[in-house]
Structure 1
Amino acid sequence: MKIKLTIIALTILSFSMVKAQQIHVKKAFAAAANQTNLLIKNVDSARKVKPSLVSPRTVENGQFKMVASKDWTSGFFPAELWYFYQYTKDKKWLDLAKKYTEDIKKEQFNKGTHDLGFMVYCPFGNGYRLTGDPAYKAVIIQAAKSLSTRFNARASVIKSWDHNGDKWKYPVIIDNMMNLELLFEATKLTGDSSFYKIAVTHANTTLKNHFRPDFSSYHVIDYDTLTGKVLQKVTAQGYANESAWARGQAWALYGYTMCYRETKNNAYLTQADGVAAFILNNKITPADGIPYWDYNDPEIPDVSRDASAAAITASALYDLAKYSNNGRKYKAAADKILYSLSTKYRSKPGDNYGFILEHSTGHRPAKSEIDVPINYADYYYLEALLRSKK
């Protein structure tokens, strides 16, 4: 009898813990909307002073920081507004999303960056999905054409960075996986398979060269464009070359989940499952599921967390749960992360100039954006909220 009562008690406790981690999406969106209303006011005030800066990026050393449309993070703010419109169907958010999305439009012709997926596809892709506006479709297609110019057939990858030529010859970063969705979409919109082929080739080459046996990822792989061989493997934004930079693992998880969704190639699903296992089984991650900025920093626990990596991971896990045999486990993990972000990492009302989340880490080795709110954390947090409903 005592054994039965103990089992019942444990079952009730387990159930109550699961229930406690179920995020109240309506309340979370309402709180996020209130913050974003304040953010919009601060954006408009800042733009009166410097019109060339169009999007809010972060708050650093108490200073509200805006960026020009050419910054890799410029598209996240207008893309967030599209998510508010998707959730509320309120014309207010539609008008705001349209207004700030226009500020990024010229970047469709930018051939000097690999980040056109972030910059263009996040706002224009969501805008087209929600409105069917043919003008948005045209921007997406042109951006895909611009991104395609950065593909090198010999190395079989899209070049990431043009800077620091003294450090590397043809650098490709794990973040670049995120920009492939733009190419997949362009093939759907045009019927031109060249975009799709570039995306798949890049994903295959990255799968081959970017990962260690435990499915953790390097940040940067440098290629020789004459031979296609790997010149060096480094982790520029992590603790050390052989360390696992938290946001890099999140990009990898999201990127290969998206590639499986778009291609149904089981190699990508296997890779996504492997990366998920590395993230979720890592003993260094705190109980709340929000990782330290790098899994191998010897100063843990006295280092910054990365809420942005957690938000990206949660969003990816909700997506991966639809395809993997581990779906129930992934959804539970995403629920836990989302609950933690919503209860422990959300800005207090009126704080942080209107950013939704705090405690993200941008580039710790460069002493840049450490323990701050940042726009891509907010974007993927909202996306995770939306995906949690499905």
Structure 2
Amino acid sequence: MTFEELMKKPELSPDETKKALELASRQTESCLSEFSSQFKSVYSENGFYTPVPNEQWTNGFWTGELWLAYENTGDERYREAALKQAESFLERIETGNHTDTHDLGFLYSLSCVSGYKLTGNETAKKAALLAADHLKSRFHEKGQFLQAWGAMDNLKNYRLIIDCLLNLPLLYWATEETGQPEYAKKARAHLDTALSVIIRPDYSTYHTYYFDPETGKPLRGVTHQGYSADSVWARGQAWGVYGLALSYRYTRSPEYLEDFKHVTDYFLTHLPENL
């Protein structure tokens, strides 16, 4: 199946969508008492998530679920819990607690940008803008990309990963909010660099790409989480699909839409018959 064929498939009906949202909200409600002031771990153990402090790269996902539940139901309990967590995110970025990463978009777009858009909360706005500043500071002029992880002065860290396409909306939003073009400019530069190296001729993708710290020239594609350097990490390909869609949403640049269709086609044509 190709992207064009997928678009001809029937969409979810309003009733199906309503039932799915109700189920998701009930599941979120069942966790509310345990995870109002704490966060879910990166992974479940024996089918359950354990509470953890705000130190992991996935913590924003749970807060984002709270905002979605609030948006869907209007239940103030979700709003109160999510705003409490926004305070935690402000403390995290102000103290630099596990923020030596590009995952600030995952952390702050879903928790604080969402919260600010829905409620106008100034704590959420402040936290998100500080996170955008910190993400912007991870941009390497030599190579024109945002470094994935670790200390910026460690030459072994001179690389990008495909996941970062999901972090770019934090920078696009910061430009919209402040009127300062530098955020979006760096997001576009990173995206253009990433697309020039991580998409293979058949539109499969590399997970990670290293650059020469002296010249900024691309060196080699490898994997940090996939099977091998030459394989296709399924979640990484999905980051490509989703990340390109997000950048097209903000920029409306036709070349991003074309790349989106191609990497999506690759993903779809390698699924089993039942998708």
Question: Into which bin does the TM-score normalised by the smaller protein fall?
Answer: 0.7 to 0.9
Distance, in Å, in 2 between the alignment partners of 1:186 and 1:62 is 37
Distance, in Å, in 2 between the alignment partners of 1:193 and 1:234 is 32
User: Could you tell me which residue of structure 1 aligns to residue 116 of structure 2?
Assistant: 128
User: Could you tell me which residue of structure 2 aligns to residue 97 of structure 1?
Assistant: 82
Code of the residue aligned with 1:188 in structure 2: it is E
In the TM superposition, 1:314-325 aligns within 5 A as none
| The one of 49, 62, 67 aligned to 1:77 | 62
In the TM superposition, 1:178-327 aligns within 5 A as 178-282=166-270, 285-289=271-275
Distance, in Å, in 2 between the alignment partners of 1:121 and 1:136 is 10
CA displacement 1:237-284 (0-9 Å, x = unmatched): 1111111111101111111111111111111111111111111222xx
Alignment coverage as a number of residue pairs: 262
Code of the residue aligned with 1:186 in structure 2: it is A
Distance, in Å, in 1 between the alignment partners of 2:52 and 2:159 is 24
User: Helix, strand or coil for the counterpart of 2:59?
Assistant: coil
> What percentage of residue pairs aligned between the two structures are identical?
35
Larger radius of gyration: 1
Higher mean alpha-carbon deviation, 105-114 vs 203-212, is at 105-114
Distance, in Å, in 1 between the alignment partners of 2:154 and 2:125 is 38
Distance, in Å, in 2 between the alignment partners of 1:167 and 1:186 is 29
Contact map agreement 1:117 1:179 (CA 8 A) in 2 = yes
C-alpha displacement at 1:159, in angstroms? Answer: 0.4
Pick closer, same or farther for the CA change 1:143–1:169 going to 2, 3 Å.
closer
C-alpha displacement at 1:185, in angstroms? Answer: 0.4
Distance, in Å, in 2 between the alignment partners of 1:265 and 1:41 is 44
If the length of structure 2 is used for normalisation, what is the TM-score? 0.87
C-alpha displacement at 1:61, in angstroms? Answer: 4.2
For structure 1, which runs of at least 5 residues remain unmatched after alignment?
Answer: 1-16, 48-52, 290-390
Determine which structure has greater relative contact order: mean sequence separation of CA pairs < 8 Å that are 6+ residues apart, divided by chain length. Answer: 1
User: Could you tell me which residue of structure 1 aligns to residue 32 of structure 2?
Assistant: 40
Contact map agreement 1:152 1:225 (CA 8 A) in 2 = no
Contact map agreement 2:102 2:167 (CA 8 A) in 1 = yes
C-alpha displacement at 1:226, in angstroms? Answer: 1.4
C-alpha displacement at 1:194, in angstroms? Answer: 0.7
Distance, in Å, in 1 between the alignment partners of 2:200 and 2:126 is 39
For structure 2, which runs of at least 5 residues remain unmatched after alignment?
Answer: 1-8
Pick closer, same or farther for the CA change 1:31–1:147 going to 2, 3 Å.
same
C-alpha displacement at 1:203, in angstroms? Answer: 0.2
C-alpha displacement at 1:161, in angstroms? Answer: 1.5
C-alpha displacement at 1:167, in angstroms? Answer: 10
C-alpha displacement at 1:104, in angstroms? Answer: 2.1
User: Could you tell me which residue of structure 2 aligns to residue 326 of structure 1?
Assistant: none
Distance, in Å, in 2 between the alignment partners of 1:254 and 1:141 is 23
Code of the residue aligned with 1:175 in structure 2: it is D
Pick closer, same or farther for the CA change 1:89–1:62 going to 2, 3 Å.
closer
Contact map agreement 2:89 2:127 (CA 8 A) in 1 = no
If the length of structure 1 is used for normalisation, what is the TM-score? 0.62
Distance, in Å, in 1 between the alignment partners of 2:211 and 2:51 is 33
Distance, in Å, in 1 between the alignment partners of 2:209 and 2:49 is 33
Contact map agreement 2:90 2:126 (CA 8 A) in 1 = no
